[in-house]
Amino acid sequence: MGMDSRIEIKVTNPKKVDNVVHPVGQGHATSASSPPQPSASSPPTDGRGRQQQQALEEGLRHSHGRGRQGRGLIDYMPFKNWVPWLIPGFVIANVVVFLISMFINNCPKHSSSCVGRFLGRFSFQPMKENPLLGPSADTLEKMGALDVIKVVHKHQAWRLISCIWLHAGVFHILANMLSLLFIGIRLEQEFGFVRIGLLYLFAGFGGSLMSALFIQAGISVGASGALFGLLGSMLSELITNWTIYANKLAALLTLIFIVVINLAVGLLPHVDNFAHIGGFISGFLLGFVFLIRPQFGYVSKKHIPTGYIVTSNKPKHKPYQYILWLVSMILLVLGFTFGLILLFRGVNLNDQCSWCHYMSCVPTKLWNCKSQQAYCEALAILY
């Protein structure tokens, strides 16, 4: 059977499947078992074009035939798969900083009741001072913990970023780093190190900023604000790229459930839930900015091999994606700007909101939230 050298690619939109391409010959669909072969009159392709053409024809030969169109439909994977290295690098950096904190802490020099004295200067503070097996609050403050007084009155704004690399103890860093690997690697594989790295840092900054506006006594450390930012970005990524996903409702409900459970844990005493909330809101908005994908059915001309014709004229993004991007950018700029202005003016938002403190700790018969401030002056608030 002869084939015309003009091969037309028709982009279809079946329900609940990924992007597909449909090869069309002269008035009829080509079977998946008979991939199109450009004739000798077709312009020869070399280098990247030849590789793309071979990949496309290979995909036609291995068609799964999903969707209502049946044969002739193949999975078309337009998104690059990245090799994750930044998130593992962040984990290593956090562990190294924790080890440096323990080295500087040097518990045996200041106490005779250190935990794990066989570790030498890496031994932990007494359990009554730090039950998480870590350094003292003084050491964390020297290392760059979030201290609102120093941020506002001593112009040490860098603490809003440095605090997300510090952890109060072994249990604290273990929980956060396992979560970071579980969430972050998947995101970096899909979106690359630049976007996920920026999202992580901006979300961590947003969490620190909100924490500083509501909790201005004691010090705070931890990467959970940035982690909640990654969770928030997963939710917004699902919303803004709604058209390319199958099982959307199940994924949405699962994400919401995970977020609600983690935020509920922040209602316990000695946990800075304001950093969780600030990181989540920042990450949710950043997801609309950094994690936007082309709509279903869009085919980039530069990825089509020579000799193939694309008839789809769909724009790269849907109008609602542009709207969400613009609104999110405006809210992020305004939120960070006004938040910094209020912080450096010494505003405590608890004075403006009489019930907001319940977002970080809900008193029960088992614990008293009023004791949190005194405890946090001896031990850093964890987030």
pLDDT band of 151, cuts 50, 70, 90 = very high
On whether the CB atoms of residues 134 and 168 are closer than 8 A, the answer is: yes
CA dihedral 181, 186, 192, 195 (to 10 degrees): -70
Q: Where are the alpha helices (DSSP H) in the chain?
A: 48-61, 86-105, 107-110, 137-143, 148-153, 159-162, 170-191, 193-214, 224-240, 248-265, 273-290, 319-344, 372-378
pLDDT at residue 106 tops 90: yes
Output the six-digit token pair for 253.
């409900």
pLDDT at 193 over 80: yes
In this predicted structure, the answer to whether residue 343 has a pLDDT above a threshold of 80 is: yes
pLDDT class of 54 with cuts at 50, 70, 90: low
Of the residues 172, 270, 276, 357, only one is catalytic, namely 276
Tell me whether residue 276 is one of the annotated catalytic residues.
yes
Report d(CA 341, CA 207) in Å as an integer.
Answer: 16
Say which of 63, 136, 211, 224 is annotated catalytic: 224
pLDDT of the residue at 309: 67
Q: Shortest CA distance to 382 belongs to which of 234, 127, 164?
A: 164
Quick check: is 270 catalytic? no
Q: Does domain 86-382 have CATH number 3.40.50.300?
A: no
Residue 271 vs residues 207, 211, 220: alpha-carbon distances, Å: 13, 11, 9
DSSP H stretches of helix in 83-129: 86-105, 107-110
Residue 56's contacts (CB-CB under 8 Å, 6 or more residues apart) are 21, 305, 308
> If you ran DSSP here, which 8-state letter would residue 190 be given?
H
| Integer Cα distance of 181 and 53 in angstroms | 36
In this prediction, residues 358-367 reach a mean pLDDT of: 79
Specify burial of residue 113 (Cβ count, 10 A radius: 0-12, 13-18, 19+). Answer: exposed
DSSP class of residue 168 equals S
- Asked whether the predicted pLDDT for residue 257 surpasses 50, the reply is yes
Pick the range with the lowest mean pLDDT from 174-178, 272-276, 316-320.
316-320
Higher per-residue confidence, 343 vs 217: 343
Q: In this structure, what is the dihedral angle of CA atoms 154, 160, 165, 169, given to the nearest 10 degrees? A: 70
pLDDT of residue 16: 41
Average pLDDT for the chain: 79
The answer on pLDDT for 3 being more than 60 is no
pLDDT of the residue at 355: 84
Residue 354 banded pLDDT, cuts 50, 70, 90: confident
**Distance separating alpha carbons of residues 245 and 313, to the nearest angstrom:** 21
Q: What is the pLDDT of residues 209-234, one digit of tens each?
A: 999 999 888 889 999 999 999 999 99
* Pick from 6, 7, 12, 8: nearest CA to 314: 12
Please indicate whether residue 67 or residue 253 has the higher confidence score (pLDDT). Answer: 253
pTM: 0.76
Give 313-321 contacts, CB < 8 A, sequence gap 24+: 314/11, 317/292, 318/243, 320/240, 321/240, 321/292, 321/295
* DSSP state for residue 271 in the 8-state scheme: B
Q: What is the pLDDT of residue 345?
A: 94
Chain position carrying tokens 């291995």: 62
Q: What average pLDDT score do residues 144-156 get?
A: 94
Q: What is the mean pLDDT of residues 336-342?
A: 97
Highest mean pLDDT among 61-70, 217-226, 266-275 belongs to 217-226
Task: Answer whether residue 336 shows pLDDT above 80.
Answer: yes
CB 382 within 8 A of CB 270: yes
User: What pLDDT band is residue 12 in, cutting at 50, 70 and 90?
Assistant: very low
Domain-wise residue ranges, the chain: 7-75, 86-382
Query: Which whole number is the average pLDDT over 80-106?
Result: 95
Say if residue 81's pLDDT is above 90: no
At which residue do the structure tokens 């924490």 appear? 211
Q: So what's the pLDDT on residue 60? A: 44
Share of the chain above pLDDT 70, in %: 72
d(CA 23, CA 61) in angstroms, rounded, equals: 12
- Cα separation, 44 vs 50, in Å, equals 8
Measured CA to CA, the distance from residue 294 to residue 316 in angstroms comes to 5
In the predicted model, what is the mean pLDDT of residues 200-205?
97
Q: 40 or 98: whose pLDDT is higher? A: 98
Kindly tell me if the per-residue pLDDT of 64 is higher than 60. Answer: no
User: What residues contact 279, with CB distance under 8 A and at least 6 apart?
Assistant: 203, 204, 206, 207, 210, 224, 225, 226, 227, 228, 229, 232
How big is the CA angle at 231 (ends 194 and 75), to the nearest 5 degrees? 70
249-276: burial string, b at 16+ Cβ within 10 Å, e else: eeeeeebeeebeebbeebbbbbbbbbbb
Q: What is the mean pLDDT of residues 37-43?
A: 43
Segment 168-189 mean pLDDT: 94
Per residue in 297-328, pLDDT tens? 777 766 676 766 666 677 788 899 999 999 99
Q: How far apart are CA 56 and CA 310, in angstroms?
A: 13
**Of the candidates 371, 369, 285, 294, which has an alpha carbon nearest to the alpha carbon of residue 329?**
285
How many contiguous H segments (helices) and E segments (strands) does the chain have?
Answer: 13, 6
Q: Is the pLDDT of residue 371 over 80?
A: no
Per-residue pLDDT averaged across 191-204, rounded?
97
State the pLDDT confidence band at 65, using cuts at 50, 70 and 90.
Answer: very low
